[in-house]
Amino acid sequence: MGRKNRAAKRTPAQAAADRQADELAGRLGLTLKDARKQRRLTQRQAAQIAGLSPSTWSWLEIGRDGRVTMATLNRAAMALGSGLNAYLKQTSAASQPRDAVHLRNQELVIRAAVPGGWQSLPEELIDREARTSRAADVLLCRVTKGQPTHYALIEIWDWFDDVGAAARDWGRRLEAVDRYAIARMVTDGPLPRTSGCWVVRATQRNRSLVNEHRGFFRSRFPGSAHAWLTALTNPAATMPGQPALLWVTVNGARLFPSRLG
């Protein structure tokens, strides 16, 4: 009864803050689990290194309670060779951007596409009419004789929160790129070709997820990942018409093809 009374007394802003805390705890739990598996540790071993009970460690990985202390979370992170970094939006005190990993992967895509003759438009707004404006992680464009002929939408995923929602939005984003391309035609002529790729960070969690749902990802990304990598780096290679899924190494150093077939 006491817990219900406390919940009833929360203001809408407090309730929203509590929900966000639970969501953050869930994300941290998934990253802890991923890091632990990469180090090939059991929950009991990781808990022993952190000086926590196995039940506490298990609860951290489940991540359903945003009231876990910072000290406990930091102990867990440091046991896995990492640590917590905190950032507040709209402040200048952070030592690095909150999306540093994402930026590194965007930079990799941009550099990889230079040999293929692509112009890169990171964070390009592709749908001004959307209820929430949609920007591309990286929009690539090939120009022939002053006319854009190919547009490639590259979406970068560090981790998945809701794969179904991301897949549904992917279709809408490709349609937005079609409209974007038509609006920027310089002269009458053939319509520019449009397609795209997902570039997914090759963490153990992401690779396990894709492998477990291989049929789903294969149906959404039937294109050849090898052909896409060739098209990115070779100006003579035609962009595949079907989307594909590429991997990026965890350290953001290299792109490599998925094997969904």
Structural domain spans, the chain: 2-79, 100-257
Say which amino acid occupies 135.
A
* Residues 237 and 192 sit within 8 Å (Cβ to Cβ): no
Considering only 94-98, 120-124, 197-201, 214-218, which range has the smallest mean pLDDT?
94-98
CATH of 100-257, one of 3.40.50, 3.40.1350, 1.10.3470, 3.30.379: 3.40.1350
pTM (two decimals): 0.69
**Residues making up the chain, counted from first to last:** 261
C-alpha 259/C-alpha 233 separation (Å) is 20
25-248-239 Cα angle (round to 5): 130
Fold of 2-79: 434 Repressor (Amino-terminal Domain) (1.10.260)
Classify 255 as helix, strand or coil.
strand
Residues 2-28 have a mean pLDDT of 73
Q: 3-state SS string over 113-154?
A: HCCCCCEEEECCEEECCCCCCEECCEEEEEEECCEEEEEEEE
Considering only 23-27, 51-55, 201-205, 251-255, which range has the smallest mean pLDDT?
23-27
